[in-house]
Amino acid sequence: MQILDGKALSKKIKEDIKSKVKVLKEQKGITPGLAVILVGDDPASHTYVKMKAKSCKNVGIYSVTHEMPYDIKEDEVLETIAMMNKNPNIDGILIQLPLPTHIDTTKVLEMVAPQKDVDGFHPFNVGRLVTNLDGFVPCTPLGVMKLLKEYDINVEGMNAVVVGASNIVGKPMANLLLNANATVDVCHIYTKDLKRHTLNADILLVGVGKPNLITEDMVKDGAIVIDIGTNRLESGKLVGDVDFEKISKKVTHITPVPGGVGPMTIAMLIENTLTASKLRRG
């Protein structure tokens, strides 16, 4: 069994980005810029945004966070995004989700200029992903594909089972796998007999947010398991969606939590921001 070390790979990617940003600054006078919209006081969101800001600073990317109160009006959020769309110093715009219920998330995401949509959530970029065209891809599933490539795992011809069908992880993950010529099965809350599906998986990818959803008897011998879930137990321990201790004994590759997919998400955000800067500025 081999651990897929996302922490180590993300560090390597960030070092590469850092060197490329340095070249951009020295040769072109360009500093890539990322703007984050953060609404409300959700502790997890604030922690995640601080991690993003720290990572940007470490690689030389300019970042700014627009913190807004929970009860802010939707129009004010849209106005701020419009301002960021026009700002020549901002290459990427990220909307930290979830947004408060009184704000239309779809409307907000659609307000972001597609060329600055480094999270890959705008319908324009979603459509390009579905049709296997270049565009910005959501950071978590993109990070999974980078991790597989790093360990020379080719999913072509594999039976891939994705558990979770969110717009952020499950659906784009399924499309990336399909584009890589895997046979893809997507499971969700309405799936009957989940175990029947997961036992057929050569590669199983789980992103639901439920500790130990996938147990040892649900995974076949020799499978590859990608745990995208992140859950904090009452004890404070951070765990994924699969029973790592038992499942790791019967698979060929598995991602740990923490240290697997999580670090790759931020690495891909920074990489997408650098790409946006290069494309937007020619």
Q: Do residues 59 and 159 both lie within one domain?
A: no
**Percent of the chain having pLDDT more than 70?**
100
At 225, the amino acid letter reads V
Q: Is residue 82 scored above 90 in pLDDT?
A: yes
Model confidence at 156, pLDDT cuts 50, 70, 90, reads very high
Q: Which of 42, 43, 97, 102 is nearest to 71 (CA)?
A: 102
95 within 8 A of 37, measured Cβ to Cβ: yes
- Backbone CA torsion sign across 122, 128, 131, 132: negative
Count CB-CB contacts under 10 A for residue 139: 24
CATH number of 177's domain: 3.40.50.720
CATH number of 108's domain: 3.40.50.10860
Active site residues: 52, 96, 119
- Give the model confidence (pLDDT) of 19-40 as tens digits: 999 999 999 999 999 999 999 9
Task: Give the pair of three-digit tokens for residue 189.
Answer: 């809350």
- Backbone CA torsion sign across 46, 50, 55, 56: positive
pTM over cut 0.85: yes
Q: Is residue 282 scored above 80 in pLDDT?
A: no
Residue that the structure tokens 């997890």 belong to: 44
Q: Do residues 110 and 143 both lie within one domain?
A: no
| Residue 218 structural domain | 139-262
Burial (0-12, 13-18, 19+ Cβ within 10 Å), 240: buried
Range in 43-52, 171-180, 204-213 with the lowest mean pLDDT: 43-52
Domain tally, the chain: 2
Q: pLDDT value at position 49?
A: 93
Strand runs labelled E in 172-245: 183-187, 203-206, 224-227, 231-232, 238-239
- Give the model confidence (pLDDT) of 87-119 as tens digits: 999 999 999 999 999 999 999 999 999 999 999
